[in-house]
A = this chain, B = another copy of it.
């Protein structure tokens, strides 16, 4: 971790008051941490605009494991991407529905492609990709 720098920020009393209220509600201990989080979030979004940036993503899918061949196909496809898929967590939600979470590492373009392919499968009811970071630059 690099050296800590301290700098001043000016703000109207009323705006600061609203901000303090919001971050207290969200559980922040101090303004610096809340501001750093806003900044990091902005930087991560920016990284994901570049298709060749090295990034981390997690894909959450909900699927019905009774759909014929789905479990088999999901496994096959995931095996094509062993370089990018770090791990897969599987949770049995109820008799029909499974929750599967994949941790992915690679270029933003590749991660998006894998996510699109898995979400498109018949039986996968819902899928969402979280675009996050390797943590190196934030």
Residues of B within 8 A of A19 (CB): 39, 42-43
| A72 CB–B CB distance under 8 Å | no
- A4 adjacent to B14 (CB under 8 Å): no
CB contact list, A112-128 vs B, under 8 A: 116-117, 119-122, 124-128
**Cβ–Cβ contact A94 & B26, under 8 A:** no
**Given contacts A60-B58, A122-B33, is CB(A12)–CB(B22) below 8 Å?**
no
Number of A residues with CB within 8 Å of any CB on chain B: 79
Q: Is the CB of A7 within 8 A of B27?
A: no
B27 and A9 within 8 A (CB): no
Asked if A134 CB lies within 8 Å of chain B CBs, one says: yes
Docked pose: A4 CA to B31 CA in angstroms: 16
Q: How far is the CB of A44 from chain B (nearest CB, A)?
A: 6
Whether A52 is near chain B, meaning CB under 8 Å from some CB there, is no
- Are B101 and A58 touching (Cβ within 8 A)? yes
**A87–B89 touching, CB < 8 Å:** yes
Q: Collect the chain B residues with CB atoms within 8 Å of residue A8's CB.
A: 6-9, 32
Q: What are 15 sample pairs from A and B whose C-beta atoms fall under 8 A apart?
A: A2-B12, A5-B12, A9-B32, A9-B36, A18-B43, A35-B35, A37-B119, A38-B39, A44-B126, A62-B138, A86-B91, A94-B134, A101-B103, A126-B135, A128-B130
